[in-house]
Structure 1
């Protein structure tokens, strides 16, 4: 799924055409690239099946070329197959000194950030419903009530953190309080066994009208078993981690259920857009807990992806800083997006 970014040799050397008497002169100018690291602390540690996540690290990029200035974000999650923060830092230091070098295939986050910093074209800005993020455990019951009161119509809950019987009891409480029409996404992050998935699918039959889908219930490599379980239960299963795995391109073509896409982890933006357009109706864009710069980068991809209508998973502003660029809300409207200022976020670092 990730694309090598060798094309950046062309993109990062901007062409400038100007007249000189009767001659037209074409010259190349190298951009100026700089970056700043960030280290963000979650207000409350994010509990998932992988453990607790307390600190988010990454980088903002600033690219200046041919009179244009743009911003991108590098936000690695190695557990999802991306480069590490240190690998990204090393490359960005090198790139700032020599912008002519290509981006290695092993650095998809760097590739995405650079491709979005100075895009070649933009699409019409759209508005999006946002899926509200629930915390793991019993706290989800109260937060679900709070989120639906604020207008959220889709909620995402991290599971695989506690014992299945405990989480099933909590889910039953959540469903009892949800307004009509509100749907749930359960995100197991590949933590379940096949037996646990089977138990959950049996349990969820009584709540089928409430469940939009389950994200990546089994580990990468068990896609065919997930497909069989989905067909047999009538409950949709989505691929998430598998979309950054070794057979991602295969599953993009063959998977018939929802596809959870984290664009900041997936390489060159235009190449990613070309691959996603044929399956846009099944794409669910998802956050990697980025700043407002990365949010803007991801939404620009979404704007160009015609036919994508699932609520986006970007209720991810649980940080003790002011780098998110927005407040928690059930909808991301064009008016709010217009107020997002990447330059201002850059200056805060």
Structure 2
């Protein structure tokens, strides 16, 4: 994973809070503020590498409090061995520290806030409910052609009616994917899939809870609309388990909580899975390596799920480099 040659790095971290422009509503409830930690490693020559820990506890990662405890117990000078020793119970910490190390040692694009892989298409996250019917228009003008809409938030029949209206309003070139955040029952999942087959939905993401893998596997073989696993494959260990159990549909991968980027890369290259890389509402620092992985490992023309910056009202995404973002905290 990491180089065996011993170098020490000055380790610093700063916690952040980013309020959403409006609360993000999912089947799991309301999300008001994104909290996370920015990391900076500095080598003996003064070169700097940035990383980010952006946990998502309700999705399957460690909690923000656990990441703070972890960072506070690290010494002010660390080595690659400290990073390699991070346990699998802290996948967001694994991602953050190895990302900083990779940025510093492999000359990743860590100096620019804008990722050079600008050719990667993004899907834009729409608001839940009827607001989606109009919200796509301004995003379309900004260059988004794939959209994600979260379902399982309101009554099924109400959402299906909105879905019909939304699909009728979208241009023929647009793609629409649905995300249930594990919030459907088997009965309601079937109702959505029947509608999806009629409407040409790109895919339905995680319709059922994680403990209903076999039902999702069966559904994936009964309808023409592809199913995607998301919560079921939050970490690399879960991804490996679902693959071993026979899942050959879409894997939605959130690299910021999946674990070590190097191990994720190795698995994807070995197994050639249908992967869609997606955001956990991290800052541009975490997004940088996520997009680098997406550019390298996405085998289809599916848009990456990183079109989420419009959900924040701050100006962080307009800063010119990572140093400015670090200094803004």
Residue equivalent to 1:205 = 197
CA distance in 1 between counterparts of 2:172 and 2:295 reads: 29
Check conservation: 1:325, 1:345, Cα contact below 8 A.
no
Check conservation: 1:263, 1:285, Cα contact below 8 A.
yes
CA distance in 2 between counterparts of 1:319 and 1:146 reads: 16
Alpha-carbon spacing, 1:325–1:240, altered in 2? closer, same or farther (3 Å): farther
CA distance in 1 between counterparts of 2:317 and 2:7 reads: 33
Q: Secondary structure at the match of 1:290?
A: coil
Check conservation: 1:69, 1:118, Cα contact below 8 A.
no
Residue equivalent to 2:88 = 105
Shift of 1:123: 7.2
Alpha-carbon spacing, 1:215–1:176, altered in 2? closer, same or farther (3 Å): same
Q: Secondary structure at the match of 1:58?
A: strand
- CA RMSD of superposed structures (Å): 2.1
Residue equivalent to 2:288 = 296
Please tell me whether residue 93 in structure 1 is matched to residue 72 in structure 2.
Answer: yes
Residue equivalent to 1:32 = 10
Shift of 1:92: 0.6
Check conservation: 1:145, 1:177, Cα contact below 8 A.
no
CA distance in 1 between counterparts of 2:173 and 2:198 reads: 16
Matches within 5 A, 1:83-232: 83-97=62-76, 99-100=78-79, 101=82, 102-119=85-102, 120-121=105-106, 125-126=116-117, 127-208=119-200, 211-232=201-222
Shift of 1:71: 0.1
Q: Secondary structure at the match of 1:259?
A: strand
Shift of 1:160: 0.5
CA distance in 1 between counterparts of 2:8 and 2:143 reads: 47
Shift of 1:309: 3.4
Residue equivalent to 2:315 = 322
TM-score (norm 2): 0.88
Residue equivalent to 2:34 = 56
Matched length = 312
Check conservation: 2:13, 2:37, Cα contact below 8 A.
yes
TM-score (norm 1): 0.84
Residue equivalent to 1:329 = none
Alpha-carbon spacing, 1:201–1:304, altered in 2? closer, same or farther (3 Å): closer
Residue equivalent to 2:43 = 65
Check conservation: 2:39, 2:52, Cα contact below 8 A.
yes
Compare 145-154 and 237-246 and name the one that shifted more.
145-154
Larger Rg: 1
CA distance in 2 between counterparts of 1:121 and 1:72 reads: 13
Shift of 1:132: 1.2
**Ranges in structure 1 where 5+ consecutive residues have no aligned partner:** 1-6, 16-27, 327-339
Check conservation: 1:122, 1:300, Cα contact below 8 A.
no
Q: Secondary structure at the match of 1:234?
A: coil
CA distance in 2 between counterparts of 1:213 and 1:39 reads: 32
Q: Secondary structure at the match of 1:39?
A: strand
Q: Secondary structure at the match of 2:269?
A: helix
